[in-house]
Structure 1
């Protein structure tokens, strides 16, 4: 069982590492594209870059979902901290397990449904870049799946090593 917990914890660390990379990279790209488009609006007679309208719509979901994955890892997504503070011992673990299980199942269902919708949306293409409109839905599916993984990792860590080993979001900490 300890080997399984180690694998889950390692997978969660890899997910968090890549979520941080995605949020930083996509944030930089979004800033560069938006800035370039603002400059192009004033410098070009065409009124801006046509692709600059579509790229943020494709990149923004990855940016947001990476943040959600990080928040879920830190215990800050759909948090019920006030309940945990009022409970002790076994009751606290039961509440934590129930909240984590509901969250995990909800995000797995969301991932499944997003893949179904992506199949439908993939028929349509963006007008300028010609990319399938399913990209945003696939980002939602990937993000929901990763939130489920880090939630399960957090639950297993607490159940195995105790409440003190829970990853906790502190207001003074920066997620990145």
Structure 2
């Protein structure tokens, strides 16, 4: 069954344009976070390899970089996947529903996702307080930095759920909202 794509921002007016800007900002932030984390990891570990090759000793600090940066890379990727609708989904029930019922189901799902992830971000603040005393020995960086990635990712997913909710209100076919289109990623 071919599902028509979501209506453009101009079809729903200013609210849809604001939603589109918010989505672009979330996706851009997640992309920047993921790319910076990946490049920094590559450079740090590459420097460690080069120094170890020439001196048979390590720098020390690059071994702590995966602990600090990999969570940021992962959470950036998760938020991007949510923005693109690329998460694994079972849509059997959704495919059996009419448009109105599918819209209600999808709206309810977005409420659950938003509440869950904003709550997880709130709980993450307590985790940061607990981990604040943990410091990586070589860099002296607090473990809060790594745990902050969880909060940022949870907020990104929560905001994506909010913008998805709003998109669902305006979409002609609710199934087209955040529908993954592989040709868009080529």
Q: Give the TM-score band, short-chain normalised.
A: 0.7 to 0.9
| Residue 24 of structure 2 corresponds to residue 13 of structure 1 | yes
- Could you tell me which residue of structure 2 aligns to residue 52 of structure 1? 62
Mapped pair 1:79 → 2:81: no
Query: d(CA) in 1 for partners of 2:19 and 2:43?
Result: 36
Task: Give the TM-score of the pair, scaled to structure 2.
Answer: 0.83
Q: Tell me whether 1:114 sits opposite 2:124 in the alignment.
A: yes
Report the counterpart of residue 172 of structure 2 in structure 1: 162
2:89 and 2:162 mapped to 1: Cα distance?
A: 15
Structure 1 residues 139 and 98 mapped into 2: Cα distance closer, same or farther (>3 Å)?
same
Residues 1:95 and 2:111 are matched in the alignment:
no
Aligned with residue 62 of structure 1, among 59, 63, 72: 72
My pick for the range that moved more, 75-84 or 22-31, is 75-84
Distance 1:44 1:120 in 2: 39
CA distance, structure 2, for counterparts of residue 174 and residue 35 of structure 1: 29
1:29-82 per-residue CA deviation (whole Å, 9 max, x = no partner) reads: 212222222222222232x22000111211111111111111111122363434
Moved more, 8-17 or 76-85: 76-85
Instruction: Look up the SS of the partner of 1:126 in the other structure.
Output: coil
**Matching residue within 114, 117, 136 for 1:126:** 136
Q: Tell me: CA distance 1:93–1:49, structure 2 relative to 1, closer, same or farther (3 Å).
A: same
TM-score scaled by length of structure 1 = 0.87
CA drift of 1:126 comes to 1.0
Which whole-Å CA distance do the structure 2 matches of 1:115 and 1:75 have between them? 27
- State the distance in 1 between where 2:184 and 2:71 align: 24
Q: CA RMSD in A?
A: 2.2
| Runs of at least 5 residues in structure 1 that lack an aligned partner in the other structure | none
| Higher RCO, 1 vs 2 (CA within 8 Å, ≥6 residues apart) | 2
Question: Corresponding residue for 2:51?
Answer: 40
Instruction: Determine the C-alpha separation between the residues in 1 that align with 2:32 and 2:154.
Output: 17
Can you give the 5+ residue segments of structure 2 that lack an aligned partner in the other structure?
Answer: 1-11
